[in-house]
């Protein structure tokens, strides 16, 4: 069982880690993940590849979820993430960067292993959520915040739900081996959250209207069939 708070980097338990053995275990885990995927990266296989004993691995990590999490974070920390911006192009760039991380490095199968092993373990799910999923959503949220500061988001738009749908779609694609690895597929997935051809998030259009004695801002949701309805009005 896990006995540390979610989202915190795990510290060594028992005696201090030997740096060479620690590096060898992480390297072996990455090699096996790249060669055979999540199912091949068992504790036994990693111990054999790294010339380490299983007791050593279990002394430093409580189980495979913790080990896979450290493997994932080690790769993600060195990943060349794009700088956050405030428009759809930055959203697409970030999605493409996530796909590259998951499809071309051991981070993808490491995350698969975490999701599989944590399915029936609430504490493990909390560790994966706090250490991997929440920080990932935070990268997308940084774009949303900048878009909001630029006046491109309707305050009433359900951006939290839309963000969950987008990240969950990427996770489902990872688990089903259908990551959108072409620019066209990434664009189509981005359309769910931020339709192409729109300057505003999730198809919300900002319209300035003249009212007696004041200028008001009206937000409209534009549908694919050309229909629209007013979401809210607020003084500018």
pTM here is 0.76
In this prediction, residue 145 carries a pLDDT of: 83
In this prediction, residue 155 carries a pLDDT of: 61
Kindly provide the b/e burial profile for residues 34-45, where b requires at least 16 CB atoms within 10 angstroms of the residue's own CB.
Answer: beebbeebebeb
Whole-number Å distance between alpha carbons of 203 and 188: 14
Whole-number Å distance between alpha carbons of 44 and 49: 9
In this prediction, residue 15 carries a pLDDT of: 55
Backbone φ, ψ for residue 135 (5° rounding):
-60, -35
CA dist 166 → 40, 87, 109, 115, 212 (Å): 29, 16, 20, 17, 41
- Going through the chain in order, the beta strands assigned E by DSSP cover 204-211, 214-222, 228-235
Kindly provide the b/e burial profile for residues 89-114, where b requires at least 16 CB atoms within 10 angstroms of the residue's own CB.
Answer: ebbbbbbbebbbbbeebbbbbbbbbb
From first to last of its 236 residues, the chain has per-residue pLDDT tens of: 333 333 333 343 445 678 999 999 999 999 999 999 999 999 999 999 999 999 999 999 999 999 999 999 999 999 999 988 888 889 899 999 999 999 999 999 999 999 999 999 999 999 999 999 999 999 999 988 888 777 776 666 677 888 888 899 899 999 999 988 788 888 888 877 777 655 444 444 444 444 455 544 444 444 443 333 334 444 34
In this prediction, residue 199 carries a pLDDT of: 46
Whole-number Å distance between alpha carbons of 78 and 76: 5
- Alpha-carbon dihedral 27, 33, 38, 44, rounded to 10 degrees: -50
In this prediction, residue 206 carries a pLDDT of: 46
Whole-number Å distance between alpha carbons of 30 and 164: 28
160: Cβ contacts below 8 Å, ≥ 6 apart: none
Residue 59: exposed, middle, or buried by beta-carbon count in 10 A (0-12, 13-18, 19+)? middle
Residue 185: exposed, middle, or buried by beta-carbon count in 10 A (0-12, 13-18, 19+)? middle
Q: In the chain, what are the domain boundaries?
A: 19-193, 201-235
Look up the CATH number of domain 19-193.
1.10.357.10
Cα angle 119, 168, 3; round to 5: 35
Whole-number Å distance between alpha carbons of 168 and 124: 18
């Amino acid at each position: 069982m896990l006995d540390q708070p979610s989202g915190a980097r795990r510290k060594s338990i028992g005696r201090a880690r030997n740096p060479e053995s620690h590096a060898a275990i992480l390297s072996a885990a990455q090699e096996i993940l790249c060669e055979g995927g999540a199912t091949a990266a068992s504790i036994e296989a990693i111990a054999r590849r790294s010339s380490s004993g299983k007791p050593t691995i279990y002394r430093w990590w409580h189980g495979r979820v913790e080990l896979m999490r450290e493997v994932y974070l080690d790769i993600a920390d060195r990943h060349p993430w794009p700088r956050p911006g405030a428009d759809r192009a930055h959203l697409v760039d970030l999605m493409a960067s996530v796909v590259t991380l998951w499809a071309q490095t051991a981070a993808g199968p490491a995350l698969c292993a975490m999701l599989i092993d944590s399915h029936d373990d609430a504490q493990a799910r909390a560790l994966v959520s706090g250490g991997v999923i929440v920080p990932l959503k935070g990268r997308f949220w940084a774009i949303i915040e900048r878009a909001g500061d630029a006046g491109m988001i309707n305050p009433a738009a359900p951006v939290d739900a839309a963000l969950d749908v987008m990240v969950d779609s990427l996770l489902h694609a990872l688990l089903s081996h259908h990551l959108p690895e072409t620019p066209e597929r990434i664009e189509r997935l981005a359309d769910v959250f931020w339709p192409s051809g729109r300057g505003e998030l999730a198809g919300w259009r900002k319209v300035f209207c003249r009212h007696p004695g004041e200028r008001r801002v009206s937000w409209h949701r534009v549908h694919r069939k050309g229909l629209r309805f007013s979401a809210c009005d607020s003084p500018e």
